[in-house]
Amino acid sequence: MLAYMIRRLLYVIPVAFGVSVICFMLVHIAPGDPLTAVMPIDATAEQQAAMRAEYGFDRPLPVQFGIWLGNALQGDLGSSIATGRPVAAEVRRAVGNTLILAFTASLIGFPLGIFFGFVAGTFKDTLIDRAVTALAITGVSVPNYWLGIVLVAVFSVTLGWLPSTGAGPGGSTAWAWDIEHLRFILLPAITLAVVPMGIVTRTVRALVGDILSQDFVSALEAKGLSGTGVLRHVIRNVTPTTLSVVGLQLGYLLGGSILIETVFNWPGTGFLLSNAIFQRDLPLLQGTILVLALFFVFANLLVDLAQPLVDPRIKRG
């Protein structure tokens, strides 16, 4: 087990390096000059050259990448072109808000997805199964930004039950686990949780239905094992694959919330990334993408390490 853990940790190094290369290159191959947003219209050629030299844009791309990667390893992601503030501080503040939103959405989406999946798999090919499957397909198919707009129109504009935008009263971005702040996070968390809930529901439903149809379950029931005992065996067989799917969806919750955070004006990494794209703020764009990608990599690493602990039958070559 220790050798497997060390192997998986070593695999992360080339993956993280590849992610850093992709993050750097994707931003630089985009059309347009990022400095045009902050340069005066009447800037002279000397002023333009001096600003490019200040941000290192006058150097070859490999040199820029080496400097950027070396600084990133020290926690320095540069300074925002638009605001002049350190990118690391901007991303750190936004990541905290995104983690809070993702954690709340996971508390809603994953338990409901697992529960609905077990119910549908247990009552396979019945009316209950068809109803749950229709609900899951709808959750996966409906655009989450559209669902967010509908929820705002119903629960904020029409009924006035919940606030429509922001992370706290008075436009505050500081989070606190109290009723007032929970009212602000409820709508974006529900919107963000719908897609993972649908995917987990369909996955667990297929797994449970397949396992209940296998011979060993019939043998357990023939031996007089109680329903709870059979359920324990089903859970043991369902857990490894479910963990893999949950790990992928954790990455979605962390990195796929850009539209939802924009709709609800939630001050997280998605909202920060949206602003960086429209402002062509390269340092902020690179830093945000890198942090989100690394979160996705390490979330899947944790799932890989947890799977053999949950099911020791899993053999790794």
Residues contacting 229, CB < 8 A, separation 6+: 220
**Residue 187 within a domain:** yes
**Residue 66 within a domain:** no
Contact 270, 253 (CB under 8 A): no
Residues contacting 145, CB < 8 A, separation 6+: 259, 260, 262, 263
d(CA 93, CA 103): 16
Residues, the chain:
317
> How confident is the model over 222-264, as pLDDT tens digits?
777 777 777 788 888 888 888 888 888 887 787 667 788 888 8
**Residue 57 within a domain:** no
Contact 192, 186 (CB under 8 A): no
Give the residue-averaged pLDDT of 141-166.
88
Backbone angles phi, psi at 11, to 5 degrees: -65, -25
Backbone angles phi, psi at 76, to 5 degrees: -105, 110
Contact 118, 208 (CB under 8 A): yes
Q: Look at residue 294 and give its three-state secondary structure.
A: helix
- Residue 212's domain comprises 96-269
Lowest mean pLDDT among 113-117, 150-154, 159-163, 271-275: 271-275
263-266 long-range contacts (CB < 8 A, ≥24 apart) are 263/145, 263/148, 263/149, 263/152, 263/188, 263/191, 264/148, 264/152, 264/164, 264/165, 264/166, 264/187, 264/188, 264/191, 265/165, 265/166, 266/97, 266/101, 266/165, 266/166, 266/167, 266/188
Longest pairwise C-alpha distance within the chain: 87
pLDDT grade, residue 317 (50/70/90)? very low
Q: So what's the pLDDT on residue 113?
A: 93
pLDDT grade, residue 278 (50/70/90)? confident
Domains: count for the chain: 1
d(CA 279, CA 286): 13
pLDDT grade, residue 180 (50/70/90)? confident
Q: Is 0.95 topped by the overall pTM?
A: no
Q: So what's the pLDDT on residue 112?
A: 94
Write the CATH number for 166: 1.10.3720.10
Q: So what's the pLDDT on residue 311?
A: 65
**Residue 286 within a domain:** no
**Residue 75 within a domain:** no
**Cβ atoms within 10 Å of 107's Cβ, excluding its own:** 12
d(CA 204, CA 238): 7
d(CA 212, CA 231): 9
**Residue 40 within a domain:** no
Q: Look at residue 183 and give its three-state secondary structure.
A: helix
Residues contacting 38, CB < 8 A, separation 6+: 51, 81, 82
Residue 103 identity (one-letter amino acid): F
Contact 17, 261 (CB under 8 A): no
d(CA 113, CA 132): 10
Contact 306, 243 (CB under 8 A): yes
> How confident is the model over 6-45, as pLDDT tens digits?
777 788 888 888 888 887 787 667 666 666 656 666 777 7
Residues contacting 286, CB < 8 A, separation 6+: 23, 24, 27, 68, 77, 78, 87
Residues contacting 8, CB < 8 A, separation 6+: 301, 304, 305
**Residue 180 within a domain:** yes
**Residue 315 within a domain:** no
Give the residue-averaged pLDDT of 267-290.
82
